[in-house]
A and B are shown apart, each in its own frame.
Chain A
C-alpha cells in the first residue's frame, strides 16, 4: 500500500467505520484505490479482521492493514 501513499507508513484518519475509512484513504491517496485497501486484513486494537466491511472504530483506535495470509 505504501507505494500509493507516497511512502507514508502511518496516517491519522478521522473515521467512524470502515466505509468512512475507505473513503477517506482513497480521497487522500487517489492512486490507492478501493481494491487495494479491500485486499488487506485489518487489525483493530488487536483484533484481526480478515475481510473488513462494516467495522466501527473507537476514538483512538489503532488500525493496521495486514497483508491477507492463507493458512494450511
Chain B
C-alpha cells in the first residue's frame, strides 16, 4: 500500500445494484439466525440475574436447584479465572480483563440490576427457568449511584474502590467514580473567543439508549472429549468471540471454533460477548451442548446499552461566519465498568471545522447501570449533537444560511483536526453542497414547521482481514471471508471479486465461514468490512487472476507475460500492448488463443491442481467519512408531537461498491438517529431497575413514523484504496440527532437540548415559552 497508488475509476460491476445473495433466504425464512441452531441432546442455559443495582454477593447456593430433575450443570463467577490486571491482547482497543470478565458473571459484587450472577443448564428451557428460581443468592445491598451527577458527588458510593482516575497529573490518591479524563486543545481559546462577535453556550443531554438490534443474542456451545469447544452464535465477529471466550474462560483460542450465524442486526452491540462464555463453561461441565438465548428483556437490561452524555459546548463566531473558538466539556456514562467511547467524543466532536482554537475535555463516569457498549460511530453522535446544535444556533444568530455557515468553516484536504492527522481528500464540502442543491432544501415550510441541518464526521477503521477464493470445476467462484454480513457486505464482496475476475456477479458465491476455515478477521465494525475485507477479496482475486494466466500460459506453452486476463478469459496477447487491452472492447487478434475461466477450471487438475487464492492484510488505508443531513419537521404545539416531514442525507462513500446498500446504511443511520432524538431512552426507576425493557415502551420508530429518507451518495475517492472506498456504516448515525433537534427547536420556538424530545418534554418547553 503506497500513497502513489492509482485509484480505479472505471468499473464493470462495482457500482451496480444486483440483488443481495442472502436476500432470498432472508425473505423466505430459510436463513438461520442465532436462535435457529440446535444440536442433538442440547441443554438450555438460564442466567440468574441480580435484583439489586449494587450489592455484595455473600453466598450462592445451588443445592435446591440441583435437586430438580433435568438440571445438569450450574456455574457462577467462581468458575471463571480471576482477571487480575491482565490486558486482553489483540483486542481492538486496550481492554482490561477485569472490566470484561465480571460482565459475564459477577464476582464479589453485582454492579447493576440484572447483572449476571449464576447460571443453570437443564434439559428444557422450562426446567432451567424453574431451577433458576431455586438458586439462593444472598446479597448485602449497597447504596447505588444511578446517574452521572450522583456518581460525581464528593461522597458518592464507589463502584470500584481501586478506581483511580487515569489522566490526572499527579495521579489522584483517592479512588472515585471517574475512570478516565482527557483534555485536548489547540490554539488560543481566550483569544478565539475575544475575536468572536457572537458566542453561544449550551448544555446538551443525550440519553442512554440501546442499539435495538432486532435479534437477541443467542448461542450454542459444544465441548468434545478433548476439550475442544465449538460455538455457534450471532455476532459481528466470530474471531472476537473466540478471543473473548478464551480470555474469560481460560480455554485457549486454539481449542475454540466459532461459527457466526446469519445476524439480525448488531450496530456495534454484537462486537462483544454476553452468553458465549457461559454456554462454553456449562457445556464443558455437563458434557452436553448448551444453548442460551437471551430474551428481549434480558437484552435491554443486561447487554451493553449506549452511553448517555452531558456536553457543555461554547462556540464563538465572527459576523462573517468564521468560527473562532470551540470549547467543549463532556461527561459520558460508562455504566458499571470502563468501556465508553468518551475519547471519540472528545476527539471528533469538532472534526468538521477548521476552527483554530479548540479545547475539548471529557470524563468517563462509572454508575450502577449496565456496562455500556459500542453503537455505530461510538461516542461521536453525542459529541456532534452538542456541537452541531450550537453551530446551527450561531448561523441563525448572525443571519447566515446554516449550510453556507458550515461551508465557510468546513475542513478539506490538508486541514488538521484536533486528533492530529491531516485530512487527505475528504468530501465534507461536497456533501454540504449536495444537501444545499437538493430540492428538499428549497421546500417551503408552513406553520409549526422547521428545518434543521447538521454535518458529521467519523474516522472509520481498517484493521485485519482475510479472504479466500476457490473455483469450482465449472467455473463458479466461492469467496470466503470471516466478516459477518450486517449490511449487505456479501453483495459487495461478490461485486469486487467479479470486478477483478471479469465474471458475471451471479457466478460469485460469497460466504462467511467459521474461524477454523479462514485466516483471522477483525470484527465487522468500525465501518471497515467493505474497505478491509473487500481489500483482501480484491487481493485474493488478483492472485487468482495471476494463477489463471499462469495456467493458460502452461496450456499454450507461452510465457505468462503473453497472457492477458480480459472479460473473464485468458487471452493470448500476440504482441498487443497491455494498454490497448481494454475490458469490453478488447482488440483480440485474429487467431489469438482464448481460454475461459470455466475451461481453465475444468482442466485445473492437469495444469497444477485446484484453483485457489488467499489474501490476508492489515488495512492501513481507511479514510474518514463526512455526512450532512437536512431534516424538516412539524410540531403539534398542543401535544408536543413531532412529525418528520422530509429527511435528506448526503454522505461521502468514497466509492459506493453497491449503492443500494450504501443508501441502506444512510437510511438506517438516519432512522436510528431520529429515534434517539425523539423517543428512545432508557428509563430507570429509583432502584436502578429499567422501566421500559421492551419495544412497547422503548420506542424505536416504526415505518409509519417516517418519511422516505432521501439519499445522495457523494463520491470523493479515498486516495489510499484501490477502488476509492471509505467506510459508510457509522457516520450515518452522527448527523440525524442534531438535525432533528434543530428542526424541532426551529419549529416550536424552543431551546430544548434535553433529549429525547419526547412529547411531554417538548410540550413543557413550548408551554414554558
On whether the two chains bind one another, the answer is yes
A interface residues (Cβ-Cβ under 8 A, vs B):
3, 9, 39, 43-51, 62, 64-72
- In chain B, residues 237-271, which have Cβ atoms closer than 8 Å to a Cβ of chain A? 267-269, 271
Residues of B within 8 A of A43 (CB): 420-421
Are B526 and A46 within 8 A (Cβ)? no
Smallest CB separation, A3 vs chain B (Å): 5
Q: How far does the alpha carbon of A66 sit from the alpha carbon of B419 in the complex, in Å? A: 6
Residues of B within 8 A of A70 (CB): 92-93, 271, 341, 344, 374, 378, 525-526
- In chain B, residues 287-306, which have Cβ atoms closer than 8 Å to a Cβ of chain A? none
Task: Choose among A3, A47, A71 the residue that contacts B460 (Cβ–Cβ < 8 A).
Answer: A71
Task: Choose among A51, A64, A71 the residue that contacts B268 (Cβ–Cβ < 8 A).
Answer: A71
Contact bitstring B520-558, A, C-beta under 8 A = 1, else 0 = 000001111000000000000000000000000000000
Are B347 and A72 within 8 A (Cβ)? no
Are A50 and B375 within 8 A (Cβ)? no
Are A65 and B169 within 8 A (Cβ)? no
Contact bitstring B407-424, A, C-beta under 8 A = 1, else 0 = 000000000000111101
Are A50 and B374 within 8 A (Cβ)? no
> From B168, which residue of chain A is reached at the shortest CB distance?
A3
B interface residues (Cβ-Cβ under 8 A, vs A):
1, 3, 92-94, 167, 169, 182, 186, 211, 267-269, 271, 341, 343-344, 347, 374-379, 419-422, 424, 459-463, 525-528, 618, 620-622, 719-720, 730
15 new A-B contacts at CB < 8 Å, known A66-B419, A68-B94, A71-B461: A43-B421, A46-B720, A47-B620, A47-B621, A50-B620, A64-B419, A66-B421, A68-B92, A70-B92, A71-B271, A71-B377, A71-B460, A71-B526, A72-B271, A72-B525
Q: How far does the alpha carbon of A65 sit from the alpha carbon of B420 in the complex, in Å? A: 8
Are B461 and A50 within 8 A (Cβ)? yes
Known: A69-B347, A70-B341, A72-B374. A49 touches B459 (CB 8 A): no
Q: How far does the alpha carbon of A65 sit from the alpha carbon of B419 in the complex, in Å? A: 8
Residues of B within 8 A of A48 (CB): 421, 459, 462, 620, 622
Query: Taking each of A47, A49, A62, which has the highest tally of chain B beta carbons within 10 Å of its own beta carbon?
Result: A47
Are B730 and A71 within 8 A (Cβ)? yes
Listed from nearest, the 8 A-B pairs whose CB atoms lie closest are A71-B526, A72-B268, A72-B374, A43-B421, A64-B420, A47-B620, A71-B525, A72-B376
Residues of B within 8 A of A51 (CB): 618
Are A47 and B1 within 8 A (Cβ)? yes
Are B421 and A46 within 8 A (Cβ)? yes
Are B374 and A71 within 8 A (Cβ)? yes
Residues of B within 8 A of A68 (CB): 92-94
A-B contact pairs, 11 of them (CB 8 A): A46-B424, A48-B462, A48-B620, A50-B618, A64-B419, A69-B93, A69-B378, A70-B378, A72-B211, A72-B268, A72-B526
Residues of A within 8 A of B186 (CB): 9
Smallest CB separation, A19 vs chain B (Å): 17
Q: How far does the alpha carbon of A64 sit from the alpha carbon of B93 in the complex, in Å? A: 17
Q: How far does the alpha carbon of A56 sit from the alpha carbon of B375 in the complex, in Å? A: 34
Smallest CB separation, B525 vs chain A (Å): 4
Smallest CB separation, B574 vs chain A (Å): 41
Known: A47-B1, A47-B720, A50-B461. A69 touches B344 (CB 8 A): yes
Task: Choose among B343, B376, B528 the residue that contacts A69 (Cβ–Cβ < 8 A).
Answer: B343
Residues of B within 8 A of A50 (CB): 92, 461-463, 618, 620
Residues of B within 8 A of A45 (CB): 3
Main secondary structure of the interface of B (DSSP, over half): loop
Smallest CB separation, B441 vs chain A (Å): 29
Are A62 and B93 within 8 A (Cβ)? no
Q: How far does the alpha carbon of A50 sit from the alpha carbon of B620 in the complex, in Å? A: 7
Main secondary structure of the interface of A (DSSP, over half): loop
Residues of B within 8 A of A39 (CB): 94
Q: How far does the alpha carbon of A55 sit from the alpha carbon of B304 in the complex, in Å? A: 35
Smallest CB separation, A64 vs chain B (Å): 4
Q: How far does the alpha carbon of A39 sit from the alpha carbon of B94 in the complex, in Å? A: 7
Residues of A within 8 A of B463 (CB): 50
Query: Taking each of A43, A62, A69, A72, which has the highest tally of chain B beta carbons within 10 Å of its own beta carbon?
Result: A72
> From B268, which residue of chain A is reached at the shortest CB distance?
A72
Q: How far does the alpha carbon of A11 sit from the alpha carbon of B182 in the complex, in Å? A: 21
Residues of A within 8 A of B621 (CB): 47
Task: Choose among A3, A49, A62, A67 the residue that contacts B343 (Cβ–Cβ < 8 A).
Answer: A67
Smallest CB separation, B287 vs chain A (Å): 37
Residues of B within 8 A of A3 (CB): 167, 169
Q: How far does the alpha carbon of A68 sit from the alpha carbon of B344 in the complex, in Å? A: 9
Q: How far does the alpha carbon of A43 sit from the alpha carbon of B116 in the complex, in Å? A: 40
Smallest CB separation, B382 vs chain A (Å): 13
Query: Taking each of B461, B462, B730, which has the highest tally of chain A beta carbons within 10 Å of its own beta carbon?
Result: B461
> From B170, which residue of chain A is reached at the shortest CB distance?
A3
Are A72 and B421 within 8 A (Cβ)? no
Q: How far does the alpha carbon of A71 sit from the alpha carbon of B486 in the complex, in Å? A: 14
Are B527 and A71 within 8 A (Cβ)? yes
> From B727, which residue of chain A is reached at the shortest CB distance?
A71
Smallest CB separation, B419 vs chain A (Å): 5
Residues of B within 8 A of A71 (CB): 92, 268, 271, 374, 377-378, 460-461, 525-528, 730
Residues of A within 8 A of B528 (CB): 71
> From B183, which residue of chain A is reached at the shortest CB distance?
A2
Are B419 and A72 within 8 A (Cβ)? no
> From B92, which residue of chain A is reached at the shortest CB distance?
A70
Q: How far does the alpha carbon of A49 sit from the alpha carbon of B376 in the complex, in Å? A: 21
Are A69 and B462 within 8 A (Cβ)? no
Smallest CB separation, A35 vs chain B (Å): 9
Residues of A within 8 A of B525 (CB): 70-72
Are A49 and B375 within 8 A (Cβ)? no
Are A72 and B620 within 8 A (Cβ)? no
Residues of B within 8 A of A69 (CB): 93, 341, 343-344, 347, 378-379, 459, 461
Q: How far does the alpha carbon of A62 sit from the alpha carbon of B422 in the complex, in Å? A: 9
Residues of A within 8 A of B720 (CB): 46-47
Smallest CB separation, B733 vs chain A (Å): 9
Residues of A within 8 A of B419 (CB): 64, 66-67
Smallest CB separation, B724 vs chain A (Å): 14
Q: How far does the alpha carbon of A49 sit from the alpha carbon of B186 in the complex, in Å? A: 23
Residues of B within 8 A of A47 (CB): 1, 3, 620-621, 720
Q: How far does the alpha carbon of A9 sit from the alpha carbon of B184 in the complex, in Å? A: 11
> From A62, which residue of chain B is reached at the shortest CB distance?
B422
> From B211, which residue of chain A is reached at the shortest CB distance?
A72
Residues of A within 8 A of B93 (CB): 68-70
Residues of A within 8 A of B94 (CB): 39, 68
Smallest CB separation, A13 vs chain B (Å): 15
Query: Taking each of B376, B421, B460, which has the highest tally of chain A beta carbons within 10 Å of its own beta carbon?
Result: B421
